[in-house]
Amino acid sequence: MVATSIDPVGKKDPKEEIMKAALKLFTEKGYFNTSIADIRQLADVSTGTIYHYFKNKEAIADALFEEVVHSLEDSIREIRKLSNTFERLRAIVELFFELAENEPEIMRFIVAVRHQEFLGNRPALSLSSPFQKLTQIMEEGIRTGELRRMDPLVASGVFYGTVARMVLLRLEGVLEKRLEWYLLDTWTAIWRALSP
Amino acid sequence: MVATSIDPVGKKDPKEEIMKAALKLFTEKGYFNTSIADIRQLADVSTGTIYHYFKNKEAIADALFEEVVHSLEDSIREIRKLSNTFERLRAIVELFFELAENEPEIMRFIVAVRHQEFLGNRPALSLSSPFQKLTQIMEEGIRTGELRRMDPLVASGVFYGTVARMVLLRLEGVLEKRLEWYLLDTWTAIWRALSP
DNA sequence: AGATTTCGATTGAATGCTCGATCTATTGGG
DNA sequence: CCCAATAGATCGAGCATTCAATCGAAATCT
């Protein structure tokens, strides 16, 4: 009479359960190796429920993509408020490294999933707004003399390429220590590459 | 009576035609979006012929992987003969940039295909022998003092991450000029990051 | 309060289709 | 005459999606 649900803690919003299960499976086995039946089982819902909340399988991936991009945008927007380019870039490295340790599935979805293969018309993540914002930070840094004169696309390529590669190596189990352990070396290398 | 084939030039080795078609389709649409029928059509052979030369669809991808890795190994082996670390790393950047312009499909297969999703038990390309060789070059360079003291995995992460990212940006059409145009900036950044 | 209606949420069996793989038949070069 | 090579029809498993039926909690009525 008091509680609306038997389970004292879990609200079990089905939509969230479905997305959580899909994220886990998509990043673990890949989109095409994941069947609706797999998601159904892990999320502990019926087929019908899945199709009640999502138009089809692709729409689940689409919702995940949207969510991750928005969350990244928010983080980057916050980071842009920092006072100088050094702080901004360093904060982005730390954000990615921390995410990789604490939310490996989300990070895998960002750096290791080929979205174009199943998300019909989305621009590649390489062209999505967080990446554009990164290039803007580079342009600004070069303009103010905080970064060396160079093509901004090369600057963001060096930066994102390095960070994403370190994250991937960690997610694949090549790096045995936590990413914080590699932070100093990584950041030193990046800053030497970009600073004047 | 003279020629063994009607076509004056093309030998049309079916196995090669199949692999060529598969490479094109796998890199363009992805492994799972490519059907045997697609390959059959593009390679202009029958289903029976495909299964005569390959056990199954996966075996085609496997053969491609093998071929690419071997060819990469050969190139890296040659490059290791160069006299110092500077020359070696620079040669690798040039190799990747040149491959991206002249053999975009092969390059896409290297940097943009998630092999683990369909090649059962292969180690990720990140762990394959060309990548290990790269890390060895880094270790050696650090030992001889040609590179700054740092974790060799970070060194190879910075290096390969940057190169692969530039290549990918080019393949995705983000970089409008040929990669040679970005070579100087890219190499300067890499060398600043790694040199003592 | 109790009975009745309503409607979104949920279920899972049924459907239909794509596609990898197989199989039998035919060909033609040595 | 033999056997590798080729052809293409056929099969059947797996999978995304649909659908008719049921639930259950609130809203409305008596």
Q: How far is B11 from chain A (nearest CA, A)?
A: 33
Q: Which two tokens stand for residue A69?
A: 């991009």
Which residues in A lie closer than 8 A to residue B127 (C-beta atoms)?
172, 174
Half-sphere exposure of A102 (CA within 13 A, CB side): 7
Asked whether residue A23 carries a pLDDT value surpassing 50, the answer given is yes
Predicted confidence at residue A148, as pLDDT, reads: 98
Mean pLDDT of A78-107: 98
Lowest mean pLDDT among A8-22, A38-52, B150-164: A8-22
* Spatial contact of A32 and B32, defined as CB atoms under 8 Å apart: yes
DSSP letter for each residue of B57-117 = HHHHHHHHHHHHHHHHHHHHHHHHTSSSHHHHHHHHHHHHHHHHHH-HHHHHHHHS--GGG
Nucleotide nearest to B51 (CA to C1'): C21
DSSP codes of every residue in B128-154? SHHHHHHHHHHHHHHHTTSS-SS-HHH
> CB-based contact (8 Å) between B132 and chain A?
no
Q: Please list the helix, strand and coil fractions of chain B in percent, rounded to the nearest 5, in that order.
A: 70, 0, 30
* Positive or negative: CA dihedral A76, A175, B100, A30: negative
Instruction: Output the pTM of the full model.
Output: 0.93
Residues 6+ apart with CB under 8 A from B189: A150, A154, A155, A158, A193, A194, B162
Q: Do residues A147 and A153 make contact, with C-beta atoms less than 8 angstroms apart? A: no
For residue A130, give both structure tokens.
Answer: 């967080």
Distance CA(B71)–CA(B128), nearest Å, equals: 13
Q: Which of A23-32, B62-71, B126-135 has the lowest mean pLDDT?
A: B126-135
Say how far residue A149 (Cα) sits from the centre of its chain: 29
Residue burial A156-184, b: 16+ Cβ < 10 Å; e: rest:
bbbbbbbbbbbbbbbbbebbeeebeebbe
Q: Give me the pLDDT at residue B164, please.
A: 97
Task: Tell me which residue in A112, A127, A185 faces B151 most closely, judged by beta carbons.
Answer: A185
pLDDT > 90? residue B31: yes
**Cα–Cα distance measured from residue A154 to residue A159, given in angstroms and rounded to the nearest whole number:** 8
| A97 confidence band (pLDDT: 50, 70, 90) | very high
Residue B32, pLDDT score: 98
Distance CA B134, CA B152 (A): 10
Average pLDDT over chain B reads 93
- Mean pLDDT over B155-161 rounds to 98
pLDDT at A9 over 80: no
CA distance A36 to chain B (A): 16
Domain A14-194 has CATH 1.10.357.10: yes
What are the extents of the domains in chain B? 14-194
**C-alpha span between B49 and B37 (Å, rounded):** 12
Identify which of B195, B190, B85 has the alpha carbon closest to the alpha carbon of residue B147. B195
Residue in the structure block whose two tokens are 């060396």: A148
Q: Which two tokens stand for residue B131?
A: 């990548």
Chain B 10-29, CB < 7 Å to strand D: 14
Q: Which of A94, A97, A162, A160 is nearest to A133 (CA)?
A: A160
> B10 pLDDT exceeds 90?
no
Other C-beta atoms lying within 10 Å of the C-beta of residue B75: 16
Instruction: Say how far apart CA B10 and CA B53 lie, in whole Å.
Output: 19
For the CA of B173 and the C1' of D7, the distance in angstroms is 41
pLDDT class of B11 with cuts at 50, 70, 90:
low
Q: Is pLDDT at B75 greater than 70 in this prediction? A: yes
Distances (CA, A) of A146 to A93, A151, A193: 17, 14, 12
Cβ within 8 Å of residue A28, ≥6 positions away: A105
Statement: residue B121 has pLDDT above 90: no
pLDDT for A120 equals 83
Tokens 């590649």 correspond to A124
Q: Which residue is it, tokens 């989300």?
A: A106
Instruction: List the 67-126 stretch of B: residues with Cβ below 8 A of A.
Output: 112-114, 116-117, 124, 126
CB contact under 8 A, A192 and B193: yes
Protein residue nearest nucleotide C20, by CA to C1': B36
- CA B17 – CA A88 distance, rounded (Å): 50
Dihedral angle at the C-alpha atoms of B130, A188, A182, B85, nearest 10 degrees? 30
Give the per-residue pLDDT at A8: 44
- Report CB contact under 8 Å: A168, B126: yes
